[in-house]
Chains A and B, each alone.
Chain A
Amino acid sequence: MGILRLGHVDVTVTDLDLATAYYTEVMGMIVTERDADSVYLKCWDEVDHHSLRLVYAPRIGMELMSFKVEHEDDLSDLENAVNRYGFPVQRISGGESVGQGESIRFATPSGHTMELVHDIEKVGGLLPKVNPAPFVTGVPGIAPPRMDHLLVTAEEVGEATTFYTNVLGFRVTEQLLDGNGHQIGTWMERSFSPHDLAVVAGPNGGLHHFAFWLDDWEAVRKAADTLAYNGIQIDVGPTRHGVTRGSTIYFFDPLGTRNEVFTGGYRPDPDFPTITWTEDNIGRAVFYYEGELNDRFMKVHT
């Protein structure tokens, strides 16, 4: 019941061909559809139509974050909840968006456009459903099995977090508090992972990064090799987060949107006690090995 997991992220790119080349050849995603201004991509183990939409625009940024809900009637329940909060909700009928049926869209207090959808066209994973091998061959690049989470920026992290938790049912696994006890970062989940959505202090409407899942630390190392080989600008890593415990690399797609590959973490139950990080430990919270943040990581978002 309710939100299941991250579905897809729609980002704008200033060069559709260059971005598509990167996401297919370096990241190893698969193009499932193209239209006049967009390319739709998915990871090899994803069954749904797409987990990333690249949209041509004169500047980069995130247009939309879309989460999948478990049941059809979750849409009207959550529509009512968002309306009660006082935010208008738009119904997008089936056929208006590529690869999916009816959805709802609304602005969040953090200034992001959020979509919830249940009915998504299934295109299938790359493995057969009868006697499959446990892995795929021939997928180039990093080839993550699936999308994992995203981190957005908000002026009022506390207010945004209240909306995501009280209205949409996210659960806070970890939080970073400033010296006055105010939230300056929160990590929230619906899928029993350390995070599906995280919010850190910054301008409203900003995207810090979206992240792909990898199997393990060995896959993170291979991803670093692949990135370096292809001349991709690495931001931080390979390293480990204190928050979420995950192992990670941050890097930029050729247009400047930050990507992450992520593995590890833990499995929180809904009654998981929230972990608190204090501002004096912010370095270890974000980069456990380095123990400090770099300016670029703190300031660059799209």
Chain B
Amino acid sequence: MSILRLSHVEVRVPDLELATAYYCEVVGMIETARESERVFLKCWDEHQHHSVVLTWAPTHGLNHFGFKVTDLEDLDLYAARLKEAGIDVTRHAPDEWAPGHGSSIRFTLPSGHTMELVHGMQQVGNLLPLTNPPPKPLNLVGIAPPRIDHLFLTAEDVGAMTDFLVDVLDFRVTEQVVGDDGFQIATWLEVSHASHDIALVTGPNGGLHHFAWAVEDWTAIRDAADICAYHGVRIETNPTRHGATRGHCLYFFDPVGNRNEVFTGGYWVDPDNEPTLWTEAEMGRALFWYDGVVNQRFLTVHT
């Protein structure tokens, strides 16, 4: 029927033990499987086998990201669409790539990122019973976000990539920063009726700016800052607010240099929503509403 939401990200880490300790003890994810060079993690309210995969590598950065589709036939539908657009697609059987992983198709986007569409990932259940559950588990460790939310990538040609996601994969643009020369500097796109599931900003092809978890509210953003500071995690921005998406957020870095975010807020969008436009002069407020200036580190550091 459609692409549903962000499913998972696979990030490279040069120190698997250190990264695992951080994602479990500070972020509060749960380890569901482990191999010699990979660790599989999920958030407490997620039912699926993994939403973050840490893969040992000499560098940091993004290996691939996956979106969940509603039905198995969606894989054929989008494989055909991608081939029509001149993109090579590989098909993967359940468990072929990783334990608990569903059926998937993989391809390289025009921006150089490896993307996957996945269906039927193993359901391992959240941390609550399915009969008379309490609203949340007690004794969660660390920030303990309920789920992964979105990711933000860098691309040389944001306009072309945005068109590709819209035309071939049925994403919808919610917001955009358009330069004085008329080119898109950054775009936010959704499939899940949220303010964004993926966003793009001008930068090198194949780059990961950050991936984000959803948290409940502004108080949870503050608590996340307390937890990051307590553990000596490098916080990039104070708890603040975006103009684009309206969300409240905190940015910080995992111990090997990948940028993380916790995010809350935003809005519901119908499919016929008219995108919001940010002009180049207001780009500072689009990114950080309170500060109102473009933070150079935020725009130049990516992995």
Q: B-contacting residues of A (Cβ < 8 Å)?
A: 1, 4-5, 45, 47, 68, 70, 129-135, 145-146, 191-192, 213, 215-218, 240-242, 245, 264, 266-267, 269-278, 281, 284-285, 288
Contacts and interface: CB of A to CB of B under 8 A. Distances in A.
Of all A-B residue pairs in the complex, the 3 with the closest CB atoms, nearest first, are A216-B217, A134-B246, A245-B135
Contacts of A271: 123
B219 interface: yes
Given A45-B267, A275-B131, 8 more contacts: A129-B275, A131-B285, A242-B133, A245-B136, A272-B47, A276-B131, A277-B132, A284-B132
A129 B276 contact: yes
B56 interface: no
Contacts of B286: 131
Contacts of B193: 191-192
B192 interface: yes
Main secondary structure of the interface of B (DSSP, over half): loop
Interface in B34-79: 45, 47, 68, 70
Contact of B4 (A216, A264, A269, A277): A269
B96 interface: no
18 contacts: A4-B271, A5-B270, A47-B270, A129-B276, A130-B278, A131-B243, A131-B285, A134-B246, A135-B246, A191-B268, A216-B218, A242-B132, A242-B133, A242-B134, A245-B135, A269-B47, A276-B130, A278-B132
B85 to A, nearest CB: 23
A70 B172 CA distance: 14
B163 to A, nearest CB: 20
Given A218-B218, A270-B70, A131 B131 contact: no
A18 B67 CA distance: 49
B274 interface: yes
Contacts of A288: 134-135
B162 to A, nearest CB: 17
A215 B242 contact: no
Given A191-B268, A278-B131, A284-B132, A273 B217 contact: no
Interface of B: 1-2, 4-5, 45, 47, 68, 70, 123, 125, 130-136, 146-147, 192-193, 214, 216-219, 241-243, 246, 264-265, 267-268, 270-271, 273-279, 282, 285-286, 289
Given A5-B268, A264-B216, A130 B135 contact: no
B277 A70 contact: no
Contacts, number: 100
A131 B279 contact: yes
| Most chain A CB neighbours (cut-off 10 Å) among B5, B47, B68, B133 | B133
B130 A275 contact: yes
| Most chain A CB neighbours (cut-off 10 Å) among B2, B70, B132, B282 | B132
A300 B86 CA distance: 61
B245 to A, nearest CB: 8
A68 B264 CA distance: 26
Contacts of A269: 4-5, 47, 68
Given A242-B132, A277-B131, A281-B132, A134 B242 contact: yes
Nearest to B281: A131
A284 B135 CA distance: 10
B285 A4 contact: no
A134 B5 contact: no
Nearest to B268: A146
B292 to A, nearest CB: 11
A192 B265 CA distance: 16
Contacts of B146: 266
Contacts of B282: 131
A204 B2 CA distance: 35
Contacts of A145: 267
A254 B132 CA distance: 35
A258 to B, nearest CB: 22
Contacts of B243: 131-134
A267 B194 CA distance: 11
A32 B282 CA distance: 31
Contacts of A277: 131-132
A242 B133 CA distance: 7
A270 B69 CA distance: 10
Nearest to A2: B1
B1 A1 contact: yes
B170 to A, nearest CB: 12
Nearest to A246: B135
B289 A130 contact: no
| Most chain B CB neighbours (cut-off 10 Å) among A1, A241, A271, A278 | A271
A216 to B, nearest CB: 4
Contacts of B135: 240-242, 245, 288
A215 B278 contact: no
B274 A129 contact: yes
Contacts of B1: 1
A241 to B, nearest CB: 8
A218 B193 CA distance: 24
A272 B1 CA distance: 16
Given A5-B268, A273-B47, A132 B132 contact: no
Contacts of A132: 243, 276
A45 B269 CA distance: 10
B287 to A, nearest CB: 12
Nearest to A263: B217
B277 A215 contact: no
Contact of B217 (A192, A218, A276): A218
Contacts of B2: 1
